[in-house]
Amino acid sequence: MAKQAELIFAGGPDEETSNTQTMASSASRPARKPAAKTAKPAPALIPLNLARDNRFTHLIESIDPVRNRGDVVLSARNTQTFLDLIAEFRHGDTLRRHGLAVTSKLLFCGPPGCGKSLTAEVFAHELGLPFLVARLDAIISSFLGETASNLRKLFDEAERRPCVLLLDEFDALARTRGDNAEHSEMRRVVNSLLMLVDRFKGRGFVIAATNVEESLDPAIWRRFDEVIVFDLPDARQIRRLIDMKTRNFPIAFDLSERIGRLVGYSYAEIERVCMSAIKRSILKGAKTVLESEFDVALTEGRRRRDVQAKLKRA
């Protein structure tokens, strides 16, 4: 069951043929075709509404969610969680009629480059909802005086119509609470943001994403209905990602031995290796990924990681 769940989110249509009836049917329900009314997110409502405040508009973006479930590799557990969330969203009215709250506040954790932002986009796409992204590090470190009121406007907008609101770089909050205790104004902003999350009653989702969940204090964790962890890919997920990234320019040699060399890499790093291998092979006039070019890309990727590790230590 777990394995099948993974296939549905990450795989091509041929992979859904096994005995995955319940899962496959829930996956192929309207999820693939968002309702016509909501399929096309309204253009940039946030920037328009907030146009008077120019400084705010670059901190929040309304993005057309284009990537879909075929563009993301998720663990079986996370796939199941998202299928459940989609089902709950679709039956929100029924649940509310029974006096039940619908899950709407999610915290995404895990190392960088493992699909937190991507999954938020895919989720918006699958739900047919507009996708709004707010970079908290930018919001919090600029113009303190107006931040709280701008945040309020942002949440008002997210409550006014269903959407997926991504609060990216949420760890900026934790840093602010811990490291800048002397800035009472900043603390006030953070507290008001937490209150806004707490009181959010919108019919869409608020998703906070962070790379450094260890530094988030329990007061923050408590505010979310669901915490979803995005881990580094295991060997099977690495394979799936490479297959996905090379679907239009395939690999014609046996990859098995190289997979092990990519364990410990993030999805974003592996994607970069694939893209580099493809480019190099095209420049060599090949029609498939060349083994020699894949190996060069691997070495390149390794060097990049070494440099990054050095910079981190420094």
Judged by beta carbon distances under 5 to 8 A according to partner kind, the member of Mg ion, ligand ADP, none in contact with residue 135 is none
CB of 112 to ligand ADP, least distance (A): 4
How many residues of this chain interact with ligand ADP, rule: CB under 6 A? 15
Residue selected from 8, 60, 72, 127 as contacting ligand ADP according to rule CB under 6 A: 72
CB of 243 to ligand ADP, least distance (A): 11
Judged by beta carbon distances under 5 to 8 A according to partner kind, the member of ligand ADP, Mg ion, none in contact with residue 15 is none
Q: Is 113 in the site for ligand ADP (CB under 6 A)?
A: yes
Judged by beta carbon distances under 5 to 8 A according to partner kind, the member of Mg ion, ligand ADP, none in contact with residue 115 is ligand ADP
DSSP string, 43-90: S-HHHHHTTT-HHHHTTEEEE-----GGG----HHHHHHHHHHHHHHH
Q: Is 273 in the site for ligand ADP (CB under 6 A)?
A: no
Nearest to 291 by CA among 241, 252, 265: 252
Residue selected from 241, 251, 274, 289 as contacting ligand ADP according to rule CB under 6 A: 241
C-alpha to C-alpha distance for 168 and 155, rounded to whole angstroms? 14
Q: How many CB atoms lie within 10 A of CB 256?
A: 9
Task: Considering only the stretches 50-58, 94-102, 198-206, 265-273, report the one whose residues sit in contact with ligand ADP under the rule CB under 6 A.
Answer: 265-273
Judged by beta carbon distances under 5 to 8 A according to partner kind, the member of Mg ion, ligand ADP, none in contact with residue 241 is ligand ADP
Largest CA distance in the chain: 63
CB of 269 to ligand ADP, least distance (A): 8
Contact indicator for 131, 121 with CB cutoff of 8 Å: yes
Residue number with the smallest Cβ distance to Mg ion = 117
Contact indicator for 106, 205 with CB cutoff of 8 Å: yes
Q: Is 210 in the site for Mg ion (CB under 5 A)?
A: no
Q: Is 264 in the site for ligand ADP (CB under 6 A)?
A: no
Distances (CA, A) of 33 to 62, 69, 257, 290, 300: 21, 12, 39, 37, 40
Contact indicator for 173, 139 with CB cutoff of 8 Å: no
Q: Is 150 in the site for Mg ion (CB under 5 A)?
A: no
Judged by beta carbon distances under 5 to 8 A according to partner kind, the member of ligand ADP, Mg ion, none in contact with residue 69 is none
- Between 60 and 241, CB nearer to ligand ADP: 241
Question: In DSSP terms, which residues pair with 63 in a beta bridge?
Answer: 131
Place of tokens 């890309």: 297
Residue 314 burial class via C-beta count within 10 angstroms: exposed 0-12, middle 13-18, buried 19 and up: exposed
Judged by beta carbon distances under 5 to 8 A according to partner kind, the member of Mg ion, ligand ADP, none in contact with residue 128 is none
Residue selected from 69, 116, 125, 177 as contacting ligand ADP according to rule CB under 6 A: 116
Q: Is 117 in the site for Mg ion (CB under 5 A)?
A: yes
Distances (CA, A) of 77 to 1, 82, 129, 156, 173: 10, 9, 23, 32, 28
- Between 116 and 245, CB nearer to Mg ion: 116
Task: Give, to the nearest 10 degrees, the angle between helix 21-28 and helix 76-90.
Answer: 50
Write out the residues near ligand ADP by the rule CB under 6 A: 72-73, 112-118, 209, 230, 241, 267-268, 271
